[in-house]
């Protein structure tokens, strides 16, 4: 079994095992919504004797897989879990009971579950049964892993990230850099990670197809089309496959191609197109994270973006800087969207090939 001490790491290091939990939880990236990503390892005498992660809502939780993997070795062992074990009957039975039944001696928890039906009750239940519980190991890392899940639990809305590509002369472009749509490219990874992607009906027309993730797990995000052009007919873009999921938010004055209704595409007609309404709807529908993709932005997303910036509805921004000058002047501009300076923090950037990608969080 995994002899961690081989690498000269202190075996009793709680933080080390918690980082392992986060690493394995990440295997299910983009697949667990509306549930969180959770990893669990069972450690005995300095060795990992069992591990597991939550693969998908409706399937067993991380603790259950890890305990199964450990078998009898779980007795008197320490269980590390990146999220507080649940103490309720949801789609699956409580993990607290499984840990108690397996007779683990100690449980180390990364962070408390913000879900109001769990929130500290799992920790209390374990303590009451005599298990030694430590909470808050590598807490920041565990929170980062589930930033979208946490955001939806606390606000009812999905975690919202703005994405666009920018030419070196500062114009929004509908192009993407070389390789970024391939597996491992940042754009393909974003599609894997996010539950939904908002497009303007004007940037995705009947001729073009939706972008799809090329990652090995290849879960595709829900395609969310905003149709806000009262004078033109909105057509359904080419779908990658029959299983592609689409939802259309249409202004009440927008004309929709009859094919949209014929194919039974989920359509929400709004008296007024508000980002707030779209996000509330998506949150109720179980989406934890949504990408607002300007994709050239010739369309009608400017008002939604303005509303998002003014009302603090955006959590994060991803900007791709393209290695060329672009003089097309039919593009959306980002001027006059916000009066005051908006500060970003936790910035980082990646360069792959000739593409620079900058990530930051809105404060
Ligand atoms: C854990 N371990 O691996 C996960 C937890 O409907 P259910 O039964 O899947 O319950 C979903 C809730 O359980 C979810 O909202 C969150 O509070 C918690 N998720 N808990 O102990 C896990 N995925
Ligand atoms: Zn559970």
Respond yes or no: is residue 63 known to be catalytic. Answer: yes
List ligand 1's pocket residues with C-beta within 6 A: 35-36, 38, 54, 57, 61-63, 83, 85-86, 90-92, 95, 113, 115, 118
Q: Write out pLDDT tens, residues 30-64.
A: 999 999 999 999 999 999 999 999 999 999 999 99
pLDDT computed for residue 22 by the predictor: 98
Lowest mean pLDDT among 98-107, 121-130, 290-299: 290-299
In this predicted model, which residue has the larger pLDDT, 180 or 281? 281
Specify the pairing of strand 246-251 against strand 266-270.
parallel
- Distance (Å, rounded) from C-alpha 129 to C-alpha 85? 14
Residue 27 clears pLDDT 80, i.e. is over it: yes
Residues 6+ apart with CB under 8 A from 170: none
pTM here?
A: 0.92
Lowest mean pLDDT among 72-86, 129-143, 270-284, 287-301: 287-301
In ligand 1, the atom with minimum distance to the C-alpha of 32 is: 23
pLDDT computed for residue 267 by the predictor: 92
Burial class (CB within 10 angstroms; exposed 0-12, middle 13-18, buried 19+) of 124: middle
Q: Compute the distance from residue 55 Cα to the ligand 1 centre, in Å.
A: 11
Q: Compute the distance from residue 174 Cα to the ligand 2 centre, in Å.
A: 43
The rounded percent of the chain whose pLDDT value lies above 90 is: 64
Rg over alpha carbons for the chain, rounded to the nearest Å, is 23
Residue 3 clears pLDDT 80, i.e. is over it: no
- Distance (Å, rounded) from C-alpha 290 to C-alpha 9? 38
Tell me whether 0.90 is exceeded by the ipTM.
yes
Which listed residue (63, 84, 138, 320) is catalytic?
Answer: 63
pLDDT computed for residue 182 by the predictor: 87
In this predicted model, which residue has the larger pLDDT, 38 or 217? 38
Residue nearest to atom 20 of ligand 1 (CA): 86
- Distance (Å, rounded) from C-alpha 356 to C-alpha 179? 12
pLDDT computed for residue 310 by the predictor: 92
Exposure on the CB side of residue 161, measured as CA atoms within 13 A: 24
């Amino acid at each position: 079994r995994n002899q961690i001490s081989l690498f000269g790491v202190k075996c009793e290091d709680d933080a080390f095992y918690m980082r392992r939990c986060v690493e394995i939880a990440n295997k299910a990236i983009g697949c667990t919504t509306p549930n969180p990503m959770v990893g669990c390892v069972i450690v005995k005498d300095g060795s990992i004797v069992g591990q597991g992660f939550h693969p998908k809502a409706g399937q067993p939780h991380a603790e259950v897989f890890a305990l199964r993997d450990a078998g009898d070795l779980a007795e008197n062992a320490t269980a590390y879990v990146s999220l507080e074990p649940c103490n309720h009957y949801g789609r699956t039975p409580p993990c607290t009971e499984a840990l108690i039944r397996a007779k683990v001696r100690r449980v180390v928890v990364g962070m408390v579950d913000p879900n109001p039906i769990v929130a500290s009750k799992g920790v209390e239940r374990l303590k009451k049964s005599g298990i030694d519980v430590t909470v808050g190991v590598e807490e920041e890392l565990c929170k980062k892993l589930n930033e979208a899940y946490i955001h939806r639990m606390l606000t009812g809305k999905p975690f919202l990230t703005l994405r666009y590509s920018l030419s070196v002369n500062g114009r929004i472009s509908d192009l993407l850099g070389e390789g970024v749509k391939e597996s491992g490219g940042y754009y393909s990874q974003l599609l894997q990670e996010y539950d939904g992607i908002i497009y303007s009906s004007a940037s995705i027309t009947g001729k073009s197809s939706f972008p799809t993730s090329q990652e090995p797990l290849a879960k595709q995000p829900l395609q969310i089309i905003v149709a806000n052009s009262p004078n033109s007919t909105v057509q359904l873009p080419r779908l990658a496959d029959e299983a592609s999921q689409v939802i259309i938010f249409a202004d009440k004055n927008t004309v929709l191609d009859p094919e949209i209704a014929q194919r039974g595409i989920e359509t929400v007609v709004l008296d007024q197109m508000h980002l707030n309404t779209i996000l509330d709807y998506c949150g109720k529908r179980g989406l934890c994270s949504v990408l607002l993709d300007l994709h050239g932005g010739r369309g009608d997303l400017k008002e939604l973006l303005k509303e998002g910036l003014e009302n603090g509805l955006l959590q994060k921004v991803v900007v791709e800087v393209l290695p060329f000058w672009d003089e097309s002047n039919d593009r959306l501009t980002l001027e006059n969207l916000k009066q005051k300076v908006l500060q970003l923090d936790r910035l980082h950037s990646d360069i792959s090939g000739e593409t620079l990608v900058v990530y930051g969080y809105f404060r």
